[in-house]
Amino acid sequence: MMIKMLLRHMREGVKNLIRNGWMTFASVSAVAITLLILGVSLVIALNAQRMSGYVAGQLEVSVLLEQKIPDTQGQQIANQIKLLPGVKSAQFVTKAQGFQDLEKQLGPQYADIMKGIQNPLPDKVIVKAVDPQQTLEVAQEIRSVPGVATVKDGQSFIPRFFQFMNLLRNIGIVFIGALVVTALFLISNTIKITIFSRRREIEIMKLVGATNWFIRWPFLTEGMIIGTIGAAIPLAVILYAYHAAFVRMGGFFVVLTFPLITTTELAFRLIVVLLGLGLFLGVWGGVMSVRKFLRV
Amino acid sequence: MIEMQDVWKTYSNGVSALNGISVKIDKGEFVYVVGPSGAGKSTFIKLMYREERPTQGHIFVNGFNIERLKERKVPYLRRTMGVVFQDFKLLQSLTAAENVAYALEVIGSPERIIRRRVKDVLEWVGLGEKSDLLPTQLSGGEQQRIAVARALVNNPTVIIADEPTGNLDPDTSWGIMKLFQRINDRGTTIVMATHNKEIVNTMRKRVIAVESGQIARDERKGMYGYDD
């Protein structure tokens, strides 16, 4: 009985969608366009977040120790730094190791030159802060540790980077907020037009003794279908386009060289957000279109 | 059975439509409600199917206490009665049979029973042949017959009709009136608001005249009594 009723409501919903073809088209388009723009913003936001996290993870302070300090004492200084507040890791790199790393970085064409010179590098400690935004403060503390010669903290780069990321995030929030408002406006407008053709229908339903829920259900299933289709279209478009772009760029954003979020990672979040929002908008629209008339 | 005890109705805009109406309509009666436009006829009718609520007084319809009836329970009152209007109130996108079936789907009747009942009742009102046509493909009289069939399909104890012949020519009107007479012959109560002088004076029934929100006359086998 319950299942039969539910099937009836589903059938009615589908019938209404087909019957009001143009209205359905308008509603689906409104949802689809909104979610498309939202989806694209989300793709950008997720990648920006990934980039921010990636760059922040790379932020480190190079602490160069005084030349005269032997390796054993250097290790002690590294341990000492590690205990400072706000320090996540402090990795000790000996002179010899540093030289090897440099050799590797420069490549075989410089191998001869490197062999000819004596190692000029001091011992160093690579320090990462718990909170990358606190890197400068941590660097300042390290300066007062005895045995430390110089601290290279990339001072000019860090504040500008975080300023830029915060700005990007704030723009994103405003943009998405404006989008949601536009979406609600678009959809409520579509509904307002639908209402006129439906008020008679609802009035008649009430006169023959339909309960409010009996009247509401087909509208809800209608809304759900509109929401689902309205979410499926931008999902397909975005995921297809993103995957194509991802493959072409080989998983890296060339200009700034940071890893892009993979299509699979993106798909899961995008499906949850867009489908959820699509369903919400559809059902909200359905509820709004009947609410006014159920009070008769 | 319908009973009103000292019923008053003032609309939110300050218009007082009914000023102390008491009336009793027994099961199986056929009642015309007459009166000038704006005298309160429509309000009187609307109170019976709880389209409007009384400001004061008591109304009982088919065992329901109207002024205490919760919004949620209104559908159950409506299922005990059939309503017929001047403008038919049919769903334009549904066929004759689907319009009638609608009243049964709403109460969750099994499909097998719906099909049989719809067929029977459409034949009974003389539209057996046209059950698959849309309202736009039917004449006004035929559309009103569908509306009557829809009102009847639940086997209601009361049919409430608000100017059912208001949009029909005289010949067609008589056809519809004969239909109402046949319904009444089966023992169904009929309450009909009407402006049709000829019908009221020819098919003599109880007449309740509403004027300035009060009952001016209540006569068995009464006359229309107005010039229009």
Tokens of A37: 């723009």
> Which band of pLDDT confidence, cut at 50, 70 and 90, is reported for residue A256?
low
Residue B202: the pLDDT is 95
> Which band of pLDDT confidence, cut at 50, 70 and 90, is reported for residue A13?
confident
Mutation test of the interface with chain B: which of A8, A23, A196, A208, choosing the one with the most B Cβ atoms within 10 A? A208
> Which band of pLDDT confidence, cut at 50, 70 and 90, is reported for residue B38?
confident
Rounded to whole angstroms, the Cα distance separating B43 from B56 reads 14
Q: Tell me: the pLDDT tens digits for B46-76? A: 999 999 999 999 999 999 999 899 988 999 9
Q: Tell me: the pLDDT tens digits for B85-140? A: 999 999 888 899 999 999 998 888 888 999 999 999 999 999 999 999 999 999 99
Question: Quick check: B7 and B18 in contact, CB under 8 A?
Answer: yes
Query: What percent of chain B has pLDDT above 90?
Result: 88
Residue B99: the pLDDT is 95
Chain B residues closer than 8 Å to A5 by CB: 108
Lowest-confidence region among A66-70, A208-212, A275-279: A66-70
| Overall average pLDDT of the A76-102 stretch | 80
| CB proximity B102 to A under 8 Å | yes
3-state secondary structure of A67: coil
Q: Where are the alpha helices (DSSP H) in chain A?
A: 2-19, 21-58, 71-82, 95-106, 111-116, 135-143, 157-207, 212-249, 263-294
| Overall average pLDDT of the A77-105 stretch | 80
| A289 vs A235, higher pLDDT | A235
| CB proximity B106 to A under 8 Å | yes
> Which band of pLDDT confidence, cut at 50, 70 and 90, is reported for residue A167?
confident
* Model confidence at A52: pLDDT above 80: no
Contact A1 B108 (CB under 8 A): yes
> Which band of pLDDT confidence, cut at 50, 70 and 90, is reported for residue A22?
confident
* Model confidence at A191: pLDDT above 70: no
Chain B residues closer than 8 Å to A206 by CB: 74-75, 78
| Overall average pLDDT of the A208-229 stretch | 87
| CB proximity B50 to A under 8 Å | no
Cα–Cα–Cα angle for A19, A293, B91, nearest 5°? Answer: 35
| CB proximity B155 to A under 8 Å | no
Rounded to whole angstroms, the Cα distance separating B102 from B145 reads 15
Tokens of A83: 């205990």
* CA distances (Å), origin A241, targets A27, A45, A165, A245, A246: 24, 16, 25, 6, 9
Domains of chain B in sequence order: 1-78+195-222 (3.40.50.300)
Contact B106 A206 (CB under 8 A): no
| A126 vs A196, higher pLDDT | A126
| Overall average pLDDT of the A40-64 stretch | 79
Contact A214 B106 (CB under 8 A): yes
Considering the entire predicted model, what is its pTM? Answer: 0.70
Of B91, B93, B106, the CB nearest to A209: B106
The radius of gyration of chain B's CA atoms, rounded to the nearest angstrom, is 17
Question: Quick check: A19 and A11 in contact, CB under 8 A?
Answer: no
Residue B218, judged by CB atoms within 10 A of its CB (0-12, 13-18, 19+), counts as middle
Residue B228: the pLDDT is 66
Reference A64, options A153, A196, A179, A171; nearest CA is A153
| A34 vs A236, higher pLDDT | A236
* Model confidence at A190: pLDDT above 90: no
* Model confidence at A149: pLDDT above 90: no
The radius of gyration of chain A's CA atoms, rounded to the nearest angstrom, is 30
| CB proximity A207 to B under 8 Å | yes
* Model confidence at A296: pLDDT above 60: no
Side-chain half-sphere of A281: how many Cα atoms within 13 Å? 34
Chain A residues closer than 8 Å to B72 by CB: 211-212
Q: Tell me: the pLDDT tens digits for B151-181? A: 999 999 999 999 999 999 999 999 999 999 9
Rounded to whole angstroms, the Cα distance separating A23 from A78 reads 69
Residue A195: the pLDDT is 66
Which residues, other chains included, contact B171 with Cβ-Cβ below 8 Å and sequence gap of 6+? none
Domains of chain A in sequence order: 2-56+160-294 (no CATH), 67-146 (3.30.70.3040)
Residue B7: the pLDDT is 95
* Model confidence at A71: pLDDT above 90: no
ipTM greater than cut 0.85: yes
> Which band of pLDDT confidence, cut at 50, 70 and 90, is reported for residue A228?
very high
| Overall average pLDDT of the B223-227 stretch | 86
